[in-house]
């Protein structure tokens, strides 16, 4: 019920009523963007934004940096572990 | 697809699973899980669905047990409320619109799907805005939208109502059955039958309400909580974060899903929610009974858009499930679906008796679909 899906805004259809077109995995549909615009990020600057779409509304702008950070952290987790394992093995041998 | 595929990477998943196993063998957690496995509740039905779809539970150590929470709005909907929907749909001239999830939920008389078969004009819509479009198109009909769901969905219905007001539409109303997450969580935390060790909190509710509303879970109840997304790596990373907190003896509110969940939530969405909705005095949940302040209703200022007022619906009276159905105990997480005598026999996805078997997010439907009758047969 609370599911959402990431999509990219391709055009602003109606700036007054805050309606934009979003591409979700190749499917295009109009969504309401009232929840992702403010004075600093008006409707016209939304084209190209990745957003989370839920029941016809763009509910959140995807933070690309945070997404990258999460993935990098997962990458590091394994690398660090591999290093620690190697260290332990070396210790065992010494 | 971007922002989906990379969060399903099996190599990264394996690393996380290994880390969780290592933490589970730490002295602190071995001792803690001696009498019973750690009880971690995933509150949200969407998380339940991910856990089953990817077989995540079977990857976890035996010392961790997932408890499936009540975060599935159709599952906690009392049967009497479905009866109210049907009663509204039966009014002459009404077009009753709803999300697909609610169509097959049994009422005491019938489901909305049966009402449709019996001649009522019941229509499934993708968005409340689609219901509004129907109201524009049919000025001679009364269009009612069944507003259901937690905070994730509340901004969409509130904004739709405000749009209807701006347009001066007189034939559109909401039948409001929204419920709020923190109040529901508090009800679970005060349930003496449940002894939870921590929570996975719903990512999309949190993108609306932010991080702070969960502070009481750590502060008042001393349980760790991690907000998480819906891809397998999200859930596994959140499990790792949660188990790490337990191993280190911490209880904090952490946010694994920062790419979607801003610390303060969604300002415009919260503004719309507070403009349109207010706390309802009494709310009944299937399984949890009266949980006081979890429900919301439409403010008096918008009475013209409130289907309860328009159609004079009385707030649902208490309706108990038949005694042989154990939905309530399964919902509260104190009983597993297969322990219910009706599970898989008289109650199945073709002829569901309870909502947990209807919704793909309900734990009974998930256990049934993925053939998982018991994690540990012992």
Q: Tokens 């599911």 belong to which residue?
A: A3
What pLDDT score does B376 carry?
Answer: 43
State whether A70 and B237 contact (CB < 8 Å). yes
CB B141 within 8 A of CB B94: yes
A80 band by pLDDT with thresholds 50, 70 and 90: low
Mean pLDDT of B139-148: 98
CB–CB contact A59 B269 (8 Å)? yes
Q: What is the pLDDT of residue B378?
A: 32
B259 part of contact set with chain A, CB < 8 Å: yes
The residues, any chain, with a CB within 8 Å of residue A33's CB and separated by 6 or more, are A9, A18, A19, A20, A43, A46, A51, A57, A58
CB A50 within 8 A of CB A38: no
The Cα B114–Cα B311 span in angstroms is 21
CB B148 within 8 A of CB B178: yes
Per-residue model confidence as pLDDT tens digits over A47-61: 999 999 999 999 999
Report the SS3 class of residue B217.
helix
For chains A and B, count residue pairs whose Cβ atoms are closer than 8 Å: 130
Hey, what are B93's tokens? 């001239």
Contact residues, chain A to chain B, C-beta under 8 Å? 1-6, 8, 17, 25, 32, 34-38, 50, 52, 54-57, 59-60, 62-64, 66-67, 69-71, 73-75, 77-78, 81
Neighbours of A52 (CB within 10 A): 26
User: In this predicted model, what pLDDT tens digit does every residue of A25-77 receive, in sequence order?
Assistant: 899 999 999 999 999 999 999 999 999 999 999 999 999 999 999 988 888 87
Residues 229-258 (B) with a CB less than 8 A from some CB of A: 230, 233, 237, 256, 258
Categorize the per-residue pLDDT at B177 as very low, low, confident or very high, splitting at 50, 70 and 90: very high
pLDDT given at position A82:
66
In angstroms, the CA A57 to CA B155 distance is 9
B210 vs A: CB within 8 A: no
Mean pLDDT of B304-328: 80
Residue B143: which of B205, B188, B102, B98 has the closest Cα?
B98
Higher-confidence position of B215 and B74: B215
Q: How far is CA B125 from the centre of its chain?
A: 19
The answer to whether B176 touches B144, Cβ cutoff 8 Å, is no
Nearest-CA distance A92 → chain B (Å): 19
Residue B134 pLDDT > 50, yes or no?
yes
Q: Are B253 and B245 in contact (CB under 8 A)?
A: no
CB distance from B39 to chain A under 8 Å?
no
Q: Looking at CA atoms only, how far is residue B35 from chain A in angstroms?
A: 30
Ramachandran region, residue A13 (left: φ > 0; alpha: ψ -120 to 50; beta: rest): alpha
Q: Which residues of A touch B150 (CB under 8 A)?
A: 1-2
DSSP β-bridge partners for residue B226: B200, B254
* Maximum CA extent, chain B: 70
Check pLDDT > 50 for residue B168: yes
DSSP secondary structure string for all residues of B132-154: HHHHHH-TTSEEEEEEEESTTTH
Report the C-alpha gap between B369 and B53 in whole angstroms: 9
Q: Given this model, what pLDDT does residue A29 score?
A: 93
3-state class of A6 per DSSP? strand
Chain A residue numbers with beta carbons less than 8 Å from the beta carbon of B73 are 1
The pLDDT mean for chain B works out to 92
Q: Is pLDDT above 60 for B350?
A: yes
Per-residue tokens: B133:
């479009």
CA angle B161, B121, B355 (to 5 degrees): 80
Q: Which residues of B touch A59 (CB under 8 A)?
A: 152, 155-156, 204, 207-208, 266, 269
Q: Is A49 helix (H, G, I), strand (E, B) or coil?
A: coil
Query: Which tokens in the block code for residue B336?
Result: 């597993």
> In chain A, how many H helices and how many E strands?
1, 5
What is the mean predicted confidence (pLDDT) over B59-81?
90
Supply the pLDDT for residue B256: 97
Structural contact between residues A2 and A54, judged by C-beta atoms closer than 8 angstroms: yes
Half-sphere exposure (CA, 13 Å, Cβ side) for B282? 9
pLDDT, tens digit (0-9, with 9 covering 90-100), for B187-229: 889 888 888 999 999 999 999 999 999 999 999 999 999 999 9
Residue B369, pLDDT > 80, answer yes
Per-residue model confidence (pLDDT) at position B377: 40
Percent of residues, chain B, with pLDDT higher than 70: 96
Which 3 state secondary structure label does DSSP give A14? strand
- Tally the residues of chain A: 94
pLDDT of the residue at B285: 83
Residue of B nearest to A52 (CA): B260
Q: Are B125 and B174 in contact (CB under 8 A)?
A: no
Q: Is the pLDDT of residue B308 over 50?
A: yes
pTM over 0.90: yes
Place of tokens 């109502």: B161
* B chain contacts of residue A73, beta-carbon cutoff 8 Å: 237
Helix ranges (DSSP H) in chain B: 10-24, 27-32, 45-53, 56-59, 79-89, 112-117, 128-137, 154-167, 181-189, 203-209, 215-219, 232-247, 267-276, 307-310, 327-331, 363-369
**Encoded tokens for B258:** 């920062």
Asked if B159 lies within 8 A of A62 by C-beta distance, the reply is no
pLDDT over 90 (residue B75) = no
Residue B268 has its nearest CB partner, among A5, A34, A50, at A34
Nearest C-alpha in B relative to A3: B46
Closest CB from B6, B205, B266 relative to A71 = B6
pLDDT attached to residue B181: 96
> How high is the pLDDT of residue B372?
59
**pLDDT reported for residue B318:** 56
- Chain B's closest residue to A36, CA to CA, is B268
pLDDT of res. B353: 85
Contact A2/B159, CB-based, under 8 Å?
A: no
pLDDT of B34-56, one tens digit each? 988 999 999 999 999 999 999 99
Q: Has residue A91 got a pLDDT over 70? A: no
């Amino acid at each position: 019920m609370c599911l959402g899906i990431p999509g990219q805004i391709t055009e602003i259809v109606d700036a007054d009523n805050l309606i934009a077109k979003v591409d979700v995995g190749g499917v295009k549909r109009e969504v309401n963007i009232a929840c992702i615009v403010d004075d600093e990020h008006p409707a016209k600057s939304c084209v190209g934004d990745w957003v989370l779409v839920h029941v016809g509304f763009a509910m959140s702008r995807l933070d690309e940096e945070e997404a990258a950070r999460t993935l990098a952290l997962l990458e590091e987790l394994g690398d660090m572990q591999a290093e620690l394992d190697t260290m332990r093995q070396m210790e065992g041998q010494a | 697809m971007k922002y989906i595929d990379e969060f399903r990477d099996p190599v990264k998943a394996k690393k996380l699973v290994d880390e969780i196993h290592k933490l589970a063998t730490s002295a602190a957690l071995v001792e803690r899980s001696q009498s019973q496995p750690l009880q971690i509740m995933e509150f949200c039905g969407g998380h339940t669905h991910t856990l089953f779809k990817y077989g995540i539970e079977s990857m976890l150590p035996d010392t961790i047990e997932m408890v499936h929470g009540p975060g599935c709005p159709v599952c906690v909907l009392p049967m009497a409320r479905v009866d109210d929907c049907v009663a509204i749909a039966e009014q002459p001239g009404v077009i009753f619109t709803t999300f697909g999830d609610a169509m097959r939920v049994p009422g005491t008389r019938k489901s909305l799907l049966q009402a449709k078969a019996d001649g009522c004009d019941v229509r499934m819509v993708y968005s409340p805005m689609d219901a509004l479009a129907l109201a524009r198109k049919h000025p001679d009909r009364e269009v009612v939208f069944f507003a259901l769901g937690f905070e994730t969905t509340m901004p969409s219905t509130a904004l739709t109502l405000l749009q209807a007001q701006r347009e001066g539409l007189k034939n559109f109303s909401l039948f409001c059955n929204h419920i709020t997450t923190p109040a529901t969580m508090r009800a679970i935390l005060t349930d003496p039958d449940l002894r939870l060790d921590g929570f996975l909190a719903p990512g999309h509710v949190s993108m609306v309400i932010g991080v702070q509303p969960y502070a009481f879970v750590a502060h008042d109840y001393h349980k760790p909580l991690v907000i998480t997304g819906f891809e397998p790596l999200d859930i596994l990373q959140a499990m790792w974060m949660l188990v790490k907190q337990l191993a280190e003896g911490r209880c904090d509110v952490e946010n694994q899903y920062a790419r979607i969940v801003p610390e303060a939530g969604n300002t415009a969405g919260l503004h719309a929610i507070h403009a349109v909705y207010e706390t309802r005095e009494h709310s009944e949940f299937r399984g949890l009974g009266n949980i006081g302040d979890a429900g919301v209703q439409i403010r008096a200022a918008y009475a013209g858009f409130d289907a309860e007022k328009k159609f004079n619906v009385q707030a649902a009276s208490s309706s108990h499930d038949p005694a042989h159905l154990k939905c309530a105990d399964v919902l509260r997480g104190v009983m597993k679906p297969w322990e219910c005598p009706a599970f898989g026999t008289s109650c199945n996805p073709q002829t569901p008796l309870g909502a947990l078997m209807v919704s793909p997010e309900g734990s009974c439907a998930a256990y049934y679909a993925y053939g998982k009758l018991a994690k540990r047969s012992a």
